Structure 1
Amino acid sequence: MHYAPIHRLLGLLGLLGVAQPGLAQDNLLRDLEQQTTDSLQRQPVAATFKGTRVVNGHSVETPGAGTLIFLISHRFGTLNSGAYNFFGLDQATIRLGLEYGLTDRLTVGVGRSSLEKTFDGFLKYRALRQSTGRAASPVSVTLLSATALTSLRYADEGFDHSFPRRLTYTWQALVARKINSSLSLQLSPTVVHRNLVDAEADDNDVYALGFAGRQKLTKRLAFTLEYYYRLPNSRASGLRDALAAGIDIETGGHVFQLHVTNSKGMIEPLFVPRTSGDFFKGDIYFGFNVARNFTLQPADSFR
């Protein structure tokens, strides 16, 4: 009689032992199902490029909503200008720019270049973002529309230099893919329209195809390359395709871009149709871009 409670206790433990494997199996199946569901969810690919510029040209990247980027772009003179000009360091061209994310997709930007005293503005829209998972997108696509105005004073040579004639327009479709965690590639079909050209034989419309790449070297260093090929009907004599190579350095809220290029201009109307330097004969401008990000509004305020 005294052993009945013990028998009951042993029976209860036996039932628990039988039920425990079934419970563990249910938990395992639930975890596997959750992992499968998570893997099928669409996930955007981040940091195809680390800045909104590759070197001279735009990248597919846009600042987040409420983020302001202050961009300083600088070019020295050519390396083959000789010791008298300290191999180009005595000369300088600069552009100051601001870029603001109205949303995560839409950016507005303005800038001013010392070259030809040029003002520029642009709208940049992230139409498609590379992603993984269900209904994944293999590439990112960003659309760019820009306008520039030269305020340079011209000598009175009988030409019409009125306000409309000083305007240029640029349209681009930036298509990029992050191949893996280290390599990103971009293709940039480009059209530049100029209301006023340098010579009568020059075309007002210039068509080009931009190629760009970024190869990550370390956690904070990356090599970048950029080339704009002018299509056969846009190859004015005496001018060359824009070529640039550089190193990106990430330091917290800053991105430093050190580079060499055969182009003195730092916006599309100045470097796509008007690059005259021969990179392989020493017409190389050393320069840098410095970008600083400021969060003006928290992301929650845009939801």
Structure 2
Amino acid sequence: MIRTILLALFSFIVLPTMAQDLEDLLDKEVGPQTDYTSATFKTTRVVNFHSVEQMKAGQLDFRINHRFGKVNSGSYEFWGLDQSTIKLSLEMGVTDWLMLGMGRSSYQKTYDGFYKVRLFRQSSGARNFPVSINYFSSIHYNSLKWDNPNQTNYLSSRFAYTHELMIARKMNERISLQLAPMVMHRNLVPTAVEPNNLWATSIGGRVKLTNRFALNVEYCYVLRPLTQRTDITYTNPLSFGVDIETGGHVFQLFVSNSIGNSENHLIGETTGKWSKGDIHFGFNISRVFSVYRNK
């Protein structure tokens, strides 16, 4: 009986005290920890534009981006399904903070390449930082045949460039928001009154409904000088989509008033109007492969 009582006292008094002393000792040795936010968005895209998510070092993302024609094209075009554009791309995490990518789109036969750098990550604990910040830069090459091959045409006229700063915050486990100011430069524009530089800001959001399903929305406001407007009525791209994760695949299904699937097309060439039914259905498929392990 005495042994039982002593063992009980030891278990309830001595052991918790020893455990607390050990925990305090570990805290002193290891120091306070920093908890970094993860999975602000499901993939590297909100819908059309990039998100702050990046591929981890050694991971390769093979992406298929598909856009159909306008829904208001009618039954003859099967409500846009008879028309389509497609983009194939490879995107890889070189390090956990640097991502590179390249792709080719059937729209204007465009080749593009980009790099994305993680500058800051949202974190709490020892290091408290309220948002994630990434820098993105891309180059686009239009390989369509010249409209007038008899005149002097310059190779540099085929290029366009974009620069973007993405600022995102994961508000909680379900809601994420992103703000991304950007600028695009075109070496050659369709008419003399159109500006070579276009400034824009995209706003994106994600609502996570389940572990494998989320709703996304994305809007980009493009600043166009009133004195330089053309006969073409440009609009701002607005897109709604869903993310569906199935193992190693992530499917993004969406509707948008833009047929473009690269930054230069989205910012500079969107003409569709939601009010008139100029809506394109599209999807993105992402398949991730492990090329090497990050040591």
- Common fold by TM > 0.5: yes
Q: Which runs of 5 or more residues in structure 2 are unaligned?
A: none
Out of 6, 15, 19, the residue aligned to residue 24 of structure 1 is: 15
Q: Which residue among 62, 68, 75 is the counterpart of 2:60?
A: 68
- Counterpart in the other structure of 1:107: 99
CA distance in 2, matches of 1:161, 1:28: 77
Corresponding residue to 1:150 among 117, 120, 142: 142
Give 1:291's aligned residue: 286
Shift of 1:26: 1.8
1:206 aligns with 2:201: no
Partners of 2:272 and 2:167 in 1: CA distance: 27
Deviations 1:45-89 (A, max 9, x none): 110011011111000011000000001000000000011000000
CA pair 161-288 structure 1, distance change in 2 beyond 3 A? farther
Query: Residues 119, 17 of structure 1: CA spacing in aligned structure 2 closer, same or farther, 3 A cutoff?
Result: closer
Q: Which has the larger radius of gyration?
A: 1
Number of matched pairs: 291
CA distance in 1, matches of 2:39, 2:263: 23
Choose from 117, 121, 127 the match for 2:113: 121
Q: 1:271 aligns with which of 243, 251, 266?
A: 266
Distance in 2 (alpha carbons) for counterparts of 1:45 and 1:67: 19
Deviation at 1:28, TM superposition (A): 4.5
Secondary structure of the residue that 1:116 maps to in structure 2? helix
CA RMSD of aligned residues (A): 2.5
Distance in 2 (alpha carbons) for counterparts of 1:249 and 1:35: 41
Alignment of 1:79-228 (within 5 A): 79-156=71-148, 160-228=152-220
What code does the residue aligned with 1:155 have? D
How far apart are 1:92 and its partner, in Å? 0.5
CA–CA separation in structure 2 for the residues paired with 1:224 and 1:136? 27
Question: Secondary structure at 1:226's aligned position in 2?
Answer: strand
Unaligned runs of 5+ in 1: 1-8
How far apart are 1:34 and its partner, in Å? 7.3
Q: Which whole-Å CA distance do the structure 1 matches of 2:43 and 2:194 have between them?
A: 33
What fraction of aligned residue pairs are identical, expressed as a percent?
43
For the residue of structure 2 that corresponds to 1:176, the secondary structure is strand
What one-letter code is carried by the residue in structure 2 that aligns with 1:106?
Answer: L
CA distance in 1, matches of 2:268, 2:83: 22
Q: Deviations over 1:66-117 (max 9, x none)?
A: 0000010000000000110000000000110100111011011000010110
**Aligned residue for 1:239?**
234
Q: Are residues 26 and 97 of structure 1, via their aligned partners in 2, closer, same or farther at CA, if it must alter by over 3 Å? A: same
Partner SS, residue 265 of structure 2: helix
Question: With structure 1 as the length reference, what TM-score do the two structures score?
Answer: 0.89
Aligned positions of 1:9-20 closer than 5 A: none
Tell me the TM-score normalized by structure 2: 0.91
3-state SS in 2 of match to 1:186: strand
Q: Distance in 2 between matches of 1:101 and 1:270?
A: 25
Mark the CA change 1:260 to 1:36 in structure 2 (over 3 Å): closer, same or farther.
Answer: farther
Matching residue of 2:250: 255
- The C-alpha deviation readout for 1:199-237, integer Å capped at 9, x for no partner, is 111000000010000001122110000110012538844
Render the CA deviation track for 1:117-140: whole Å, top value 9, x for unaligned: 000000110111111211211111
* Contact 2:198-2:224 within 8 A present in 1 as well: no
